Amino acid sequence: MKAICINNLLLPLGITATFFLFACKKSDPHPTPPVVITPTDTLPVDPAVQNTMGFFMDRWQAKNFTSPSASIQQPLTANAATVMVTVNTGSVLTKIAPNYFGNNSNLWCGQLNSQTALMNHLVNFKPGIIRGPAGSVSDVFFFNANNNAAPPDAPATLLKSDGTAIAAGYWYGKNNESWTYSIDGYYNMLQQTHSVGLLTVNYGYARYGTGPDPVAAAAHLAADWVRYDAGRTTYWEVGNECFGDWEAGYRINTATNHDGQPEIITGALYGRHFKVFADSMRKAALETGVPIKIAAVLYDSEPQAWNSSTIKTWNSGYFAEAGNTADYYAVHNYFTPYQENSTRATIFNSAATIPAVVKNYVTAGITAAGLQVKPIAMTEWNLFCSGSKQNVSAVAGIHAVLTMAEFLKNGFGAAVRWDLANRWDNGDDHGMFSYGDEPGVAAWSPRPAFYYLYYFQQCAGDRLLSSTVTGSTDIVSIATSFSSGQKGIVLVNKGTTSKTVTIDFKYFTPGAKFYYYTLKPGADNGDFSGSVIVNGNGPANNLPGGPVANYSSISMYATAAAGGVKVDLPAGAVIFMVVDKK
């Protein structure tokens, strides 16, 4: 630990000398006037872990930065700075666990673990958490069943929200055909990518099952999965968006139900069932010798007038029945209005506002119910844009960066983006990688969001610091600190004109150099370029995406810091920077 010496006593930096001398004054027979010291560097005290993060912070690890052995030398810009970013290195907002770059797998994009290109990208990316088996499909998934071998009490048809019957369309964990994804393939992917799992058990079966006790049958299935998992997975969820009229089990055929359940689900009913699931799953975990954490599904924001009565009463009904049973809560949000042709401004504004809205709504409901605030995980998130290929654009990547910071500031325990791959759908694709159906683009090619989040991880430390911006509302700063002493700075220019930005540090003296990557959108598709250029390196042959062939070996720019830390930030660009320690 760095320290300063006062009156032959070592004082750790980050604790003011004035406070220390005042505390020692009574034992000093010859008191001297207080000495006020303004350190040039600090070792600040970490804040208490927020309740909404809780045990997720157990995964925190110190992160060190090693200056690159080779870099591209850049002179300090001669332009006058019009924007100042002030970084208070003595103010830690939160420690950063490796929980925020997670992603979702699914059951309809093939045996993902056997796709070498995808696995290589994920090893480089380090998602940390991969959720399975899928979203809504989780509620029609039988993890231990062979193909087309549903349990005898799983009906051949299920009801839609309007009461019409459709083929159940179950999915099976032991199906090894190439078009789907087996449960053992999922575990193998976790192993290959050094990730932990987050598994969503089939809650819908507790509703549509036709046996004498469908809740017990579904809870037993979930417990058997915990046994099969054998301690590999800590994080579990009971169902997916169970409040939604799009989910299997929202409406059931009461004529085939044998435990008196209502036709339409409620939060209170889910709460009663959740206790049965949690009890069975925890008993199974005891058998494995490895404890687990189980999430209940909550609605994420204030219901609107047009929402169903189920949604309007979901959280309060759940809390009244289940109390403090859950270990954590799972929420989903897709930020922009459903299938709206959203503008850049709408997308960027959603990143700045939605995480706080969700966190405040959920915690207010918990508090109103007189319950303990517990960790909150955003287990699905993305954009709901449509019409301009926003979801596969560089803007989606910038939105992801901005959102990461807000998840941290607002104390989410984890964030898991939707999803690894999906379908092109003329650009309304949530996949971080192309599935191969995008014209001219090879399967498993990374989309822009991959590159923005990849370089964010390379340049982000293990603690989030306080930072402020003056001179422009277009510029956003995200400051972090490495345990090895360097400071990571992300600069986002949401505007349409270039800015020159200088960075002022409190309690930190930069070392010899600062290093950075500059990511700029391409020139295609107006506001929503499908390309990203990294330190001058773009996609081959003017295709969408990024520098897929060499992104992991692109050299950082390096500038001497003797004249200050100052950069030109192009319109629409993001700079990921690390500043050397002295």
Angstrom distance (rounded) from CA 420 to CA 432: 5
Q: Are 416 and 103 in contact (CB under 8 A)?
A: yes
165-167/171-172 β-pairing = unpaired
The conformation of residue 241, written as its DSSP 8-state character, comes to S
Q: What is the rounded CA–CA span in Å between residue 441 and residue 129?
A: 27
Instruction: Measure the CA–CA gap between 476 and 319, rounded to whole angstroms.
Output: 37
Specify the DSSP element, H or E, that contains 405: helix 394-409
Helix axis angle, 394-409 to 448-459, nearest 10°: 40
Give the count of alpha carbons within 13 A of 331, CB side only. Answer: 31
| Residue 33 structure tokens | 């006037």
Distance CA 133, CA 240 (A): 11
- Amino acid 43: pLDDT: 62
Chain centre to alpha carbon of residue 507: 30
A 10 A CB-CB count for 216 gives 16
CA 64, chain centre distance (Å): 21
Q: Which two tokens stand for residue 554?
A: 């692109």
At 42, the amino acid letter reads T
Q: Which DSSP helix (H) or strand (E) runs through 192?
A: helix 183-193
Q: Which residues contact 321 (CB under 8 A, 6 or more apart)?
A: 267, 268, 269, 270, 271, 272, 274, 275
How many other β-carbons are positioned within 10 Å of the β-carbon of residue 463? 25
What pLDDT is stored for residue 26 in this prediction?
Answer: 35
For residue 217, which of 231, 207, 228 has the smallest C-alpha distance? 207
Please give the pLDDT value at position 39. Answer: 46
- For 338, counting Cβ atoms within 10 Å of its Cβ (0-12 exposed, 13-18 middle, 19+ buried), the class is exposed
Tell me the C-alpha distance between 91 and 46, whole Å: 8
Q: What are residue 567's phi and psi, to 5 degrees?
A: -140, 155
Which structure tokens are listed for 529? 């370029």
Residue 376: the pLDDT is 98
CA 147 – CA 174 distance, rounded (Å): 7
Query: pLDDT of 308-367, one tens digit each?
Result: 999 999 999 999 999 999 999 999 999 999 999 999 999 999 999 999 999 999 999 999
pLDDT the model gives residue 543: 87
- Give the tokens for residue 423: 């379908």
CB neighbour list of residue 541: distance below 8 Å, 6 or more residues apart: none
CA neighbor of 420 nearest in space, from 190, 232, 171, 208: 190
Residue 355, both tokens = 């995480």
Ranges of residues in the chain whose predicted pLDDT is under 70: 1-43
Q: pTM, whole model, 2 decimals?
A: 0.92
Radius of gyration of the chain (CA): 26
**Do 78 and 123 form a contact (C-beta atoms < 8 A)?**
no
For the residues of 88-109, what is the DSSP string, one character each? EEEEEEEE--S-SSEEE--SSS
All structural domains of the chain:
3-39 (no CATH), 72-94+462-581 (2.60.40.1180), 97-326 (no CATH)
Identity of the amino acid at 88:
N
Per residue, what are the HEC states of 478-539?
A: EEEECCCCCEEEEEEECCCCCEEEEEEEECCCEEEEEEEEEEEECCCCCCCCCEEEECCECC
DSSP lists the bridge partners of residue 257 as none
Rounded CA-CA distance 76/317 in Å is 59
Q: Cβ of 521: how many Cβ atoms within 10 Å? A: 24
Asked if residues 532 and 397 have their Cβ atoms less than 8 Å apart, the reply is yes
**Rounded Cα gap, residues 375 and 463, in angstroms:** 19
Strand pairing class (102-104; 171-172): unpaired
Contacts of 397 (CB under 8 A, 6+ apart): 447, 448, 449, 450, 451, 452, 453, 519, 532
